[in-house]
């Protein structure tokens, strides 16, 4: 589930930036080993980041698992761009 959210964020950013299909920076989307590393990192509580450069701007999609708060709210994944 967490890797799916990360994948969705990367796909949405690619669309927003108008990156063409097959852009080298988007190879992560098709690499099962990359998804495996992301899943492994997140399962072990480590953050996982994907970077995409567009012109002079570098976008970083950083994903990290979060834990339940005292108030009971929970999120499986927090992504920021």
Rounded to 5°, the CA angle 17-21-22 comes to 120
Each residue's pLDDT tens digit in the chain (81 positions)?
Answer: 678 888 888 889 899 999 888 888 888 878 878 888 888 988 888 888 888 888 888 888 888 777 655 544 434 455 555
Sheet holding 78-80, edge to edge: 48-54, 57-64, 78-80
Q: For residue 16, what pLDDT is reported?
A: 92
Question: For residue 12, how many other CB atoms are within 10 A of its CB?
Answer: 12
């Amino acid at each position: 589930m967490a890797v799916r959210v990360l994948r969705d964020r990367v796909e949405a950013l690619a669309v927003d930036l108008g990156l063409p299909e097959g852009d080298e920076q988007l190879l992560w989307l098709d690499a099962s080993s990359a998804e495996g590393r992301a899943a492994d990192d997140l399962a072990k509580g480590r953050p996982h980041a994907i970077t995409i450069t567009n012109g002079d701007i570098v976008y970083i999609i950083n994903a990290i698992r979060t834990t339940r708060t005292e108030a009971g709210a929970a999120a499986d994944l927090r992504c920021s761009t």
